[in-house]
């Protein structure tokens, strides 16, 4: 059983299978917190500047008071997802670094008050600062699994009409996630997270600031660097403004979705 708040030291893997094979890997750490028991420690700010910070604005925001939890519950009510009002909700996410935030994907694990796993939600963001949430509620092999229509612009090298296949392990001493991107002919991209729990403390945060310098900037740099290499290899490119009707239920929509055609 994992502690109420901890850090996950993670290995991230991306393997593109087509139109040509390519792989890249890197290491990061992620913050895991119970939304009812947010940690208070040096070097970790809550809605304020610090070396690392957790900020409500970086996550689901429907304009409801009460922070991330209240807004997530409001989103579930809007989507008619049954959830007890006293549910335990764990968030696993990248923290801000010196006030800078970029979270490609965060995860909410929802349990009943007595600890029974109910479902998970993946919160996916793109470089346009758009966000889309996906319910993952099929229990399989002690984790959550669900294949869903993507309907979201994540990468210029993947069609918004593709599918996501989520396999989300339940956080514990170890934590594993797999997210496959598939088109009508099969899997095109395999992404994975493999994490090991570490205690959350001021000393550990300070050490991780040295071990994983400029964490969020590293992630956004890696995304753009790999995209540049794919572009130079003339991999087919999908424009953000294409297939606007297939980009559904997008939060914080970019002007490419909201502007009218002339």
Q: What is the pLDDT of residues 127-172, one digit of tens each?
A: 899 999 999 999 988 899 999 999 999 988 889 999 999 999 999 9
* Domain locations in the chain as residue ranges: 6-254
pLDDT tops 70 at residue 221: yes
Nearest alpha-carbon partner for 27 in 205, 211, 173: 211
pLDDT tops 70 at residue 261: no
Residue 125 neighbours by CB distance under 10 Å: 21
Q: What is the pLDDT of residues 85-120, one digit of tens each?
A: 999 999 999 999 999 988 999 999 999 999 999 999
pLDDT tops 90 at residue 240: no
Percentage of the chain with pLDDT > 70? 97
pLDDT band at 256 (very low <50, low <70, confident <90, very high): confident
pLDDT tops 50 at residue 244: yes
Please answer whether residues 216 and 102 qualify as being in contact, where contact means their C-beta atoms are separated by less than 8 angstroms: yes
Mean pLDDT of the chain: 91
CB-based contacts of 68: which residues, under 8 Å, 6+ apart?
Answer: 35, 56, 59, 60, 91
* Mean pLDDT, range 6-24, rounded to an integer: 90
* pLDDT for the residue 1: 44
Cα 80 from Cα 96, distance rounded (Å):
31
Cα 157 from Cα 22, distance rounded (Å):
13
Tell me the pTM: 0.93
């Amino acid at each position: 059983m994992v502690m109420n708040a901890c850090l996950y030291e993670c290995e991230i893997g991306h393997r593109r299978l087509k139109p040509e094979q390519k792989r890249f890997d890197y290491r990061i750490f992620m913050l895991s917190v119970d939304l009812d028991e947010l940690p208070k420690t040096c070097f970790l700010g809550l809605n304020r500047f610090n070396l690392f910070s957790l900020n409500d604005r970086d996550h689901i925001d429907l304009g409801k008071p009460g922070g991330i939890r209240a807004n997530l519950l409001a989103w579930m009510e809007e989507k008619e997802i049954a959830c007890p009002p006293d549910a335990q909700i764990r968030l696993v996410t990248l923290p801000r670094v010196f006030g800078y935030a970029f979270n490609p994907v965060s995860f909410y694990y929802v349990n009943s008050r007595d600890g029974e796993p109910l479902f998970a939600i993946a919160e996916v963001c793109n470089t346009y600062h758009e966000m889309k949430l996906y319910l993952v509620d099929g229990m399989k092999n002690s984790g959550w699994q669900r294949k869903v229509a993507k309907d979201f612009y994540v990468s210029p090298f993947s069609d918004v009409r593709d599918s996501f296949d989520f396999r989300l392990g339940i956080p514990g001493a170890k934590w594993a996630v797999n997210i496959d991107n598939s088109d009508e002919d099969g899997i095109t991209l395999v992404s994975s997270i493999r994490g090991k729990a570490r205690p959350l403390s001021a000393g550990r945060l300070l050490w991780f600031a040295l071990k994983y310098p400029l964490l969020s900037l590293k992630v956004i740099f890696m995304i753009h660097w790999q995209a540049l290499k794919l572009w130079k290899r003339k991999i087919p490119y999908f424009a953000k403004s294409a297939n606007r009707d297939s980009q559904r239920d997008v939060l914080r929509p970019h002007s490419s979705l909201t502007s009218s055609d002339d």
